[in-house]
Amino acid sequence: MTMTEDDEPAVELEARLEEQDSFEPPESFVEQANVADEGIYEAFAENWPDCWERAADLLEWDAPYGEVLDDSNPPFFEWFVDGKLNASANCLDRHVENGAKNRAAIKWEGEPGETRTYTYGDLLTEVESFAAALGELGVEEDDVVTLYLPMIPELPIAMLACARIGAPHSVVFAGFSADALATRMNSADSEYLVTCDGYYRRGEALNHKEKADKGLRGVDHEVETVVVDRLGDELNHFLGASAHDYDELVDEHAGASVEPVSRDAEDMLFLMYTSGTTGQPKGVKHTTGGYLAYAAWTSHAVLDVKPEDTYWCAADIGWITGHSYIVYGPLALGTTTVMYEGTPDYPERDRLWELVETNDVDIFYTAPTAIRAFMKWGEEYPQRHDLSSLRLLGTVGEPINPRAWKWYYKHIGGEECPIVDTWWQTETGGMMITTLPGINTMKPGSAGPPLPGIDATVVDVEGEEIVAGEAGYLTVQRPWPGMLRTLYRNDERFISEYWAEYSDTNSDDPDDWVYFPEDGAKLDGDGYITILGRVDDVINVSGHRLGTMEIESAIVGTEGVAEAAVVGGDHEVKGEAVYAYAILEDGQEPTDGMRERIVAGVEDAIGPIARPEEVIFTPELPKTRSGKIMRRLLEDIASGNELGDTSTLRNPDVVDDIVDRVGGD
């Protein structure tokens, strides 16, 4: 009997895939790829920084820029100097003018299954109405407008309306708590809030306005609020004196024409708060020209987005991934972007695949944590659907293990779609390290080489480049258009957080300034970079960045808790999970009630995403002789790793005691 490949038993196929450690992009993909000429790496290197004109060329400028890069005042780099443009005009008007008025811009599906499609024409109309309404409410150029909205079309509409009138938005993830909203509004002095009554999660109508109202009580200044009625009769809500109904505002301004404000390339487009090592979230400032050009360029080069595509990034717009790759990048390129309100397992675990099939999705981009969940649920769910419309897959947010990569490749991509594993950060604005899907060999588990024009280098503690095969710290040695410009109103922290480690901060030579993303990384002989994870006190839970200090201060804020240490421990699906070690005050009992209060305290301060997987009560924390908490040890305990030598501790006995308590109750 001869055996053709098709007859190959599934087990053998699986075994073959398991051993394979590199994959070539399929010829059919290469032939149609936006970028397929490997000469692009050299072309960018030779012509740096002017190579970035290629990104700027994807946009329409009201006034041309002069210099591509002004690096005279590092690390305050400026891009596309003196250029003028408007982000909403680039995402809407120019497509409408170029004949795409009736092309779908946003295809949205609510969790209960209702759908809404906005053509580019529809989207422009509603954005103009809402922009006019914002103007009437008093929003002026450079006023920060906070958007506390879930995955409903009014979120991108509000973003683009803000962009149209030159008001930077600050989107706060809807899953964040009332306290988190208040902190961000206070920090940005934001006097405007757009929120909604609620939204659906696993069949339930969640009350969001209650959280927004509670947050507003913690804001130290007057706020004008707009409320979107997402739930209708499902949840009645009451508009207070300073709140306006979104639909009424849009109706009142129906047909309004709002000229897009010409913004300077370096004017702020938005602010996005992210977690850092201290308890205070960092307000990352992104600009209009560099950010938009970079989001558009990476969508074009890496995600291979074409105007006729249906493209779906299954992230939340409340994070940078959604800003760059649900809203700005895809819309700047004039494609159709899909938005889904709910969770992947409602009503069943095939919800996303059903969406891919019904929308004929060409490109799908998600996080490794989601892929690991799909893998756990089993291949029967994707198998129920025809996924052959897919051409390219992507992942972002955390390292992807080769097993999950291969599962994605086989069961979602049908072994015919390249996968891009894209490393980047809130601060970088867009992708930095990834293969180009029409050019590079893929190696599961390794993000790939730096993108053309990106000078990412792995160095040792001293800042010296390491040799292939070794691990070190990731750095970026040259600026790039999508980079953050500063931390909002805190240039000093901007320098100390990102530049102090490897730069000569007294120098005004741009070459002496090195950006440090705080990730560890490994380099291989082909120049591929494998990201090893954060080297600061930040945990990456399901691709979301959480600061351990923020969680610790929430725990210590619980009555009866004296001290706390929070670390990340390995988690099968989430990548990392939050492990909290708590020491109680004398006389307090480690009861379930206490544990629940601690968890509730964390949810109130940050949100359910920061919920500790385990709260471990301990009489002491392991400390070095100099009194520093041994976090590494706590991480190893949480992950169930072999523990190294603990004899150098001030209190070695505490270790056995803690080990006994983990998972022990």
Nearer to ligand WT7, 334 or 397 (CB): 397
Strand partners, 194: 147, 226
CB of 480 to ligand WT7, least distance (A): 14
Tokens in use for 542?
A: 């399901």
Distance CA 226, CA 17 (A): 52
347: preceding bond cis by omega (within 30 degrees): yes
CB of 196 to ligand WT7, least distance (A): 24
CB of 434 to ligand WT7, least distance (A): 7
Nearer to ligand WT7, 533 or 560 (CB): 533
Could you tell me the end-to-end alpha-carbon distance of the chain, in angstroms, rounded to an integer?
A: 57
Nearer to ligand WT7, 434 or 558 (CB): 434
Place of tokens 């490949």: 5
- In single-letter form, the type of residue at position 78 comes to E
Q: Are the CB atoms for 607 and 626 separated by under 8 Å?
A: no
CB of 575 to ligand WT7, least distance (A): 9
Nearer to ligand WT7, 425 or 486 (CB): 425
Q: Are the CB atoms for 353 and 380 separated by under 8 Å?
A: no
Phi/psi class of residue 540: alpha, beta or left (left: φ > 0; alpha: ψ in -120 to 50)?
beta
CB of 347 to ligand WT7, least distance (A): 28
Nearer to ligand WT7, 135 or 329 (CB): 329
Nearer to ligand WT7, 443 or 534 (CB): 534
Distance CA 363, CA 657 (A): 50
CB of 367 to ligand WT7, least distance (A): 8
Nearer to ligand WT7, 483 or 658 (CB): 483
Q: Are the CB atoms for 543 and 575 separated by under 8 Å?
A: yes
Nearest to 106 by CA among 119, 124, 87, 115: 119
CB of 321 to ligand WT7, least distance (A): 5
Nearer to ligand WT7, 541 or 561 (CB): 541
Q: Count CA atoms within 13 Å of residue 13 on its CB side.
A: 14
Q: Find the radius of gyration of the CA atoms of the chain.
A: 25
Distance CA 665, CA 663 (A): 6
Question: What value, to the nearest 5°, has the Cα angle with vertex 466 and ends 510 and 511?
Answer: 5
CB of 23 to ligand WT7, least distance (A): 17
Cβ neighbours for 553, distance < 8 A, ≥ 6 positions apart: 279, 605
Q: CB neighbours (10 Å) of residue 241?
A: 5
Nearer to ligand WT7, 125 or 170 (CB): 170
137-164 b/e (C-beta count within 10 Å ≥ 16 → b): bebeeebbbbbbbbbbbbbbbbbbbbbb
CB of 546 to ligand WT7, least distance (A): 9
Nearer to ligand WT7, 261 or 314 (CB): 314
Nearer to ligand WT7, 335 or 426 (CB): 426
Q: Are the CB atoms for 635 and 608 separated by under 8 Å?
A: no
> Which three-class secondary structure state does DSSP give residue 548?
helix
Give the strand pairing for 69-70 and 78-79: antiparallel
Q: CB neighbours (10 Å) of residue 195?
A: 29
Phi, psi of 232 (to 5 degrees): 55, -130
> Which three-class secondary structure state does DSSP give residue 663?
coil
Nearest to 353 by CA among 404, 310, 327, 390: 390
Residues that bind ligand WT7 (CB under 6 A): 274, 319-321, 396-399, 421-426, 447, 517, 519, 531, 533-534, 540, 543, 545
CB of 592 to ligand WT7, least distance (A): 32
Alpha helices in 395-547 (DSSP H): 402-407, 491-498
Place of tokens 């394979």: 20
Place of tokens 């209702």: 114
Q: Are the CB atoms for 538 and 332 separated by under 8 Å?
A: no
Nearer to ligand WT7, 253 or 545 (CB): 545
Nearer to ligand WT7, 178 or 315 (CB): 315
Nearer to ligand WT7, 155 or 326 (CB): 326
Q: Are the CB atoms for 193 and 212 separated by under 8 Å?
A: yes
